[in-house]
Structure 1
């Protein structure tokens, strides 16, 4: 059977691609899409963090398939979209921001702390809001290119923005598309961003998008790894220095009185255990410097021995 047919311009067209386009892509067989859009969320968060003082987070909430017209109609009157062209794909893509996203982004960029109530207004977007949206669309072009570089060398050129969804034309409205939805969280509020890509643009990449199968780890993303490492290192923990511990009965505890003196077995030479969240970290020696008590770390706590001491009878 001949799988090639002539196209109107004289070039051969693979009928298999036409059949795949008609049937649509199966998202559960394209695990790399989630990896790509996760990477895009990280890229957006990193770019935004350089512009604002408050914490702001992007997170991928869903990747779904649908008709272009149906997706756009669901945002009619409540979003602004940017239309992008990818010459390598010979196709277009859409990035959209809903009203809450735009209002939150404006407040974050102008230094709001979330103390004011969120904007709840059905008005049209202002000139400032549209200019901010256009600046964000330029960043989205870079984020898309970086994210899809895992499977394809593609550039995305921002062409125009639209607030009327019926003007956001990137193909027939009944064509299938992949829609990725992201949540923006900042100053105790947020909004939604979405990316809409026709399935016809992704069909030639289906083998690369299916390369990560069950049981295989996704490619390491250095930007995301750096972000996680930075967030972990900034996490605050509480340290506690324990000079002595003893067990008493409930009756003895009930008999304690204000002013009563408890005699400790510890001396200035006793080792002090440094703990965090009730987990022993280090053994320290106690001293003084400039009128304050100080600790000098000497040894790490043997976690295995600590565990045995806790479970074995004394």
Structure 2
């Protein structure tokens, strides 16, 4: 029995040595994707300009390499998880902080972006703290599908040497989230030590039902409603002709172009050069009008494809 009891720690150590392959943990990309969406939704409620957040990278790196890469160029929040008894790291690079400062204080992107290597001011650090709280809540919400944990903010570090969450040569999963707003950009990075993921391997290896598609029903419904309110320009095309450039250049005021179409010819109703319906033409109250007769089926219906995701 004692021999069997010691088997589990040995297995965990072997798995830790092999690292956590992202391909074998399909829930990790879903978690980071959900974190990006939740954080973006929060920013849209606080900022006048649209804010977009997307996952740009998920991989395995050494903790020391991640810290060295962001030295003197980022602020990092140390986050503690009592359930795992470990610490995570969430960081904002300089461009992320400067871009969010402009967005939150009403800038519209007409001014040139800030390009300054100076230390972060007290106001920028305080704003970053508020953004860290939002990002921590977004990550906690994203992790609910695999673990019931609590993320507690501990402190902000301006020097990466003090952002210690484990030995520098230990491996960690790092997710990089790209921010885009008012023509600006920036990056958020999330660092999770492998030791924190070891108890969750089975949960992370299986996609939770309903998480692959339509994970955020409220956002999907809002997105669909906004699309349906969008105004589009429609063009009614009675006939199209091809003409050589030399004949086109010879046209002058008063010339007549003969059309093969008649009042009974079908009219194509299109938007953005995409044919949508065939119509018959008529008159009503002295104005021309169209009656939709048939739908023109496309090989790919972009709107339906977007709304079905």
Note if contact 2:34-2:142 (Cα within 8 Å) is conserved in structure 1: yes
Q: Which of 59, 64, 82 is matched with 1:87 structurally?
A: 82
> Which TM-score applies when normalising by structure 1?
0.82
Asked if the contact 1:3–1:16 (Cα under 8 Å) also holds between the matched residues in 2, the reply is no
Give SS of 2:77's match: strand
Aligned to 1:150: 145
Structure 1 residues 249 and 132: CA distance shift in structure 2, 3 A: closer
**Counterpart in the other structure of 1:128:** 123
Q: 1:41 to 1:255 in 2, by over 3 A?
A: same
Deviations 1:73-103 (A, max 9, x none): 2111110011111122222111100111000
Paired positions, count: 294
Deviations 1:246-301 (A, max 9, x none): 56677765654321123545566655321124332221545466x9x564443233
Residues in 1 aligned to 2:274 and 2:130: alpha-carbon distance in whole angstroms: 48
Given that 2:61 and 2:174 are in contact with CA atoms closer than 8 Å, whether structure 1 keeps it comes out as: yes
> What are the within-5 Å matches in structure 2 for residues 57-96 of structure 1?
57-96=52-91
Question: What's the Cα RMSD here?
Answer: 3.1
- The correspondence of residues 1-314 of structure 1 with structure 2, limited to 5 A, is 2-5=3-6, 14-212=9-207, 218-222=212-216, 225-226=220-221, 229=224, 233=228, 237-246=232-241, 253=248, 256-264=251-259, 266=261, 271-282=266-277, 283=279, 285-287=281-283, 295-303=289-297
- Report the 3-state secondary structure (helix = DSSP H, G, I; strand = E; otherwise coil) of the residue aligned with 2:39: helix
Q: Which structure has the larger Rg?
A: 1
Give the deviation of 1:199 after TM superposition.
Answer: 0.6
User: Secondary structure, in 3 states, of the residue corresponding to 1:40?
Assistant: helix
Cα distance, 1:225 vs structure 2 = 3.9
The range that moved more, 157-166 or 243-252, is 243-252
**TM-score, structure 2 length as denominator?**
0.83
Q: Which runs of 5+ in 2 are unaligned?
A: 299-309
What are the ranges of 5 or more consecutive residues in structure 1 without an aligned counterpart?
Answer: 6-11, 305-314
Q: Which deviations, in whole Å up to 9, do the C-alpha atoms of 1:25-51 show, x marking residues without a partner?
A: 122211221111111111111111111
Question: Does the Cα contact within 8 Å between 1:93 and 1:170 map onto a contact in 2?
Answer: yes
Question: Partners of 2:221 and 2:45 in 1: how far apart?
Answer: 15
* Matched position secondary structure for 1:50: helix
